[in-house]
Amino acid sequence: MFDFEYDKTKIKGILGPEVLDIQIDHLADLWEACPSEDSEVQAMIQHDRNETMVASGAGPKTEIAPGVVFECLVGKFNGAKNLTTGIVTLAPASHLDYHTHPDTEALTLLSGSMIIETEGRRYTLRPLDNIVIPPGVAHYAMNKSSTEKAVIHMATPTASPQRTSIDKFFSRRAMPDDSLGEAGPERVTRHDTAKRFEVGDGTSFIDFFNDELMLDIEMSGGYGQFTTGGRLPAHMHDFDESICIIEGQATCIVEGRQYALSDCATAMVPRGRVHYFINKTDRPMAMVWVYAGPKPQRLMVAEACATAEGNPWK
């Protein structure tokens, strides 16, 4: 933890006295050595784009296999850097043959029943289970149901995802229902038994993936649930973020601009934009969040920085 109580003067002119706390360790050394004009630090954290909000159904869609459709909600089309997220919908009994990616892929089952195989290791996913597949690991996906669709949230740390089909036989081995991926390089998080922690008042979060959980991963992400009135403090990141609202309705505040999100609508908040989420309804709200960086770190700032009047970049 880097203590700004002793170092606020080093960012004077960037965020003034409004910085409250920091969890961005890799910037600490820059601040220690930064020149008086702060140009290097400013280049690291200053915003360079506006946020975008994409409703489910409004993103570009691609049929990647018969009955399998990917809708991009964050990616190159809306200016995201080093990040693509979206929704994959599999029609009843449809599947996606074995393939690989040059980048990590994270899959979170939102509804339905899924089988994911990684080089023959067969995992059955229940709603809100997550599997992370490292680069180059061959995998296969199948909707178990012959009557209901399956819906998956997908994330990968690139703005230009690539997929290569694999024509290779793998001996299948069913993994236990509580398996966490110990038999291979993949990682599985079971929603029902995952460790939870609080990020803000009225919140409960689960980490799916980050560089403490998986070696050499290029992104971080997880699940968050908000009770009525639950919220995060005002903060920013040194990387782009995708936030998909998978339950209830969220209010997203970005430097005084307010958005209502629900039904898998997704916010793309670029690096440097001050923002927070709050549940203003009387029902639970939940999100899948992904950072285009391996550490789930945030720069906490004063509430005023999230208002139009207190916008630190004006």
pLDDT given at position 20: 41
249-262 in b/e form (b: 16+ CB < 10 A) is: ebbbbbbebebebe
Mind listing the domains of the chain with CATH numbers? 56-189 (2.60.120.10), 196-306 (2.60.120.10)
Q: Which helix (H) or strand (E) holds 74?
A: strand 68-74
CA angle 63, 100, 266 (to 5 degrees): 50
pLDDT computed for residue 46 by the predictor: 56
Residue predicted with more confidence, 289 or 45: 289
Residue 103 and residue 155 in contact, taking contact as beta carbons nearer than 8 Å: no
Summarize the confidence of residues 91-107 as an average pLDDT.
Answer: 98
Mean pLDDT, residues 136-151 taken together: 98
Average pLDDT across the chain, whole number: 87
Instruction: Output 132 or 44, whichever has higher pLDDT.
Output: 132
Mean pLDDT to the nearest integer, 9-25:
39
CA distance 22 to 28: 9
Both tokens of residue 119?
A: 């080089």
Measured in residues, the chain has a length of 314
* pTM for the structure as a whole: 0.87
- What pLDDT, in 10s, does the model give residues 189-225? 999 999 999 999 999 999 999 999 999 999 999 999 9
* Res 309: pLDDT: 86
- What is the predicted pLDDT for the residue at 175? 97
Per-residue pLDDT reduced to its tens digit, 241-271:
999 999 999 999 999 999 999 999 999 999 9
Q: How far apart are CA 29 and CA 213, in angstroms?
A: 24
The pLDDT value recorded for residue 314 is 66
Query: What sign for the dihedral angle of Cα 99, 100, 101, 106?
Result: positive
Per residue in 25-63, pLDDT (tens digit) is: 444 443 444 444 444 444 445 567 999 999 999 999 999
Which tokens belong to 206? 């689960």
2 falls in which pLDDT band (50, 70, 90)? Answer: very low
Please give the pLDDT value at position 16: 39
- First vs last Cα of the chain: how many Å apart? 28
